Structure 1
């Protein structure tokens, strides 16, 4: 009979963490964190865009008007930083070439916007959006359009960029689907049309007795939204992914090494601390459970 004592079984330790399964979990956590990083960066970019748009509104909406030819030195000139910039121009409305923009809801009501070309002193046409009119009884046009002032008029307007086309939206006659200035130019049949930007009417002299409803009378709401909050949330989600992986890894380690004396000692110490943190309410609940 051998007197040799049986060898103690070696503790598994952390070797399991290098298995294919756990390496797969780690890869998934990394991919998830990278995706969260991209989404967080996207929200940061959105926040910067909103801040830049607000800065443009603050700088331009109530600023002193500048001459149209100074703001737009060429017919195709326009920069996004000029949105809402107030310009002044003197000319004569070409009332016979007025256009209506279809499908322009305002305060929840369907309607049209009225585009009237203004012939400037240098012979070019600047498109002025004179305002909004409700859909008429025939639904395909307003019941009536207040006429633009005749003769020379001085207009103060806010610049807006030419709009893109909307797929499937068409218009005929004196109507257009959007304020796409290249299409407006074709409708007017004039070579000298400002195609970079048009003007939302602010005021004009002389003022007519009746006019379409102004679509913009106060600055747009300057709200940067919740982009910063969302950006931080995505970072937290990435950290939660790694925290969850670490928690699962430690739990697995404790299960696999439950027979190791050192791990047993650590488990006993954790239990002791847990019991030390018990409140009076916990003790009362235990006594009530035992009495049942």
Structure 2
């Protein structure tokens, strides 16, 4: 290393380098985090494309057991035949939709084999006069055929309480305890259709297949990491010039930079004068 660059081995510049490395590592980690989020979005898009409009299959053919569910089965359509247990229905609290507070309406459905499957019959807005829906639609009575799309059980929210007939999350094991019958605890179903049909809450629509901006964000974070080192190099170069202003070679380089600057300024002025002359001649 030439004498002019000796300042780089000082403690101060060692600190600058350490900070730049930490900054770059953080940027790289954030970039990989965005790539992981994109991978999750792509996987979700693939599940929607493969499962959402598939031909419904009997739920017992899709789920091997009451506690069975794999993430690859999300949005898969299943058919159910049996009857709703309307007396066991539950409202799931704190389920906003479109910026409006509301509830999800869960109704246990007893299949012909005696097992129970939880069906989400849609979203209901919070009432105008009370912290409950103004109207809770009744389920069809008698034998019903249901088509639903699978979703996973949600985590239990510890420390959260709810009024009678309500529940803080779609925690299927807790719901199974309340139902008191053999109940599917791995997955529940968003209602797609039922026959005979009845009024429902607001049913979910097909999820948009959108990767989001994660790829561009990842690229930006990687660029920031590179810019950190480029900025450090620029700062080192500026300090070198300041410390070596009397060096003949540095003086020559400074003079050369000044000549190029003046030449560019002159060129810009000539272009501006030409434009003014053209304007004046019209």
Q: What is the TM-score when the length of structure 1 is the normalising length?
A: 0.85
Partner of 2:220: 233
How far off its partner does 1:136 sit? Answer: 4.1
Partner of 2:190: 200
How far off its partner does 1:180 sit? Answer: 0.9
Partner of 1:127: 118
| 1:153–1:284 Cα change, 3 Å | closer
On the 8 A contact 1:201/1:214 being kept in 2, the answer is no
Matching of residues 6-155 of structure 1 within 5 Å: 12-136=3-127, 139-155=130-146
Moved more, 54-63 or 111-120: 111-120
How far off its partner does 1:140 sit? Answer: 4.0
Moved more, 131-140 or 32-41: 131-140
Cα shift readout 1:194-242 (whole Å, capped 9, x = no counterpart): 001111111111223xx122321x3112222211111111111111111
| 1:23–1:93 Cα change, 3 Å | same
Distance 1:189 1:151 in 2: 21
Distance 1:55 1:46 in 2: 14
Please provide the CA RMSD for this pair. Answer: 2.2
Moved more, 136-145 or 50-59: 136-145
| 1:143–1:39 Cα change, 3 Å | closer
Distance 1:31 1:146 in 2: 57
| 1:119–1:251 Cα change, 3 Å | same
| Equivalent residue in structure 2 for 1:212, among 196, 200, 212 | 200
Cα shift readout 1:98-130 (whole Å, capped 9, x = no counterpart): 222223333444333222211112211011111
Partner of 2:243: 256
How far off its partner does 1:96 sit? Answer: 2.3
On the 8 A contact 1:12/1:257 being kept in 2, the answer is no
On the 8 A contact 2:58/2:79 being kept in 1, the answer is yes
SS in 2 for 1:43: helix
Cα shift readout 1:172-213 (whole Å, capped 9, x = no counterpart): 3222122111111121122x10001111111111223xx122
Distance 1:22 1:148 in 2: 72
How far off its partner does 1:259 sit? Answer: 1.6
Partner of 1:270: 257
Distance 2:134 2:24 in 1: 59
| 1:250–1:92 Cα change, 3 Å | same
On the 8 A contact 2:124/2:202 being kept in 1, the answer is no
Moved more, 197-206 or 132-141: 132-141
Structure number with larger C-alpha Rg: 1
Distance 2:264 2:103 in 1: 70
Q: What is the TM-score when the length of structure 2 is the normalising length?
A: 0.88
